[in-house]
Amino acid sequence: MSNDGCGAPVGGVALADVDAGDQAVIQGVVTRDGQPLSGAYARLLNAADDFVGEVATGEEGTFRFFAADGDWKVRVLASKGFTGEFAVKAETGKVVDLQVRA
């Protein structure tokens, strides 16, 4: 894996049939013009807008966070000046899926 200096390794994750089990999962796919977008960044922010974590999307445009129950925000940053912010509610045993069109 490589990174572009911001500290988040580029990689992505496979999203097929994830079982949340005893965790709360927030995941998604970033696309542009119908194609997966590699090298975008997904940031997880808590209810107070504090930075919690960041991942870079890989070839499939995917990202995933494991979070505590509660209200969160996912901020997606991509090339061409795209920024999107999405409010999500994480619940143990559930998967939140986001589809982000950059």
CATH code reported for the domain at 24-101: 2.60.40.1120
Q: What is the pLDDT of residues 88-101, one digit of tens each?
A: 999 999 999 999 99
With a threshold of 0.85, does the pTM exceed it? no
Domain ranges of the chain: 24-101
Band of residue 12 on the pLDDT scale cut at 50, 70, 90: low
Q: Where are the beta strands (DSSP E) in 14-81?
A: 24-32, 35-36, 41-45, 51-56, 62-67, 70-78
Q: Name which residue leads in pLDDT, 1 or 64.
A: 64
CA 91 distance to own-chain centroid:
16
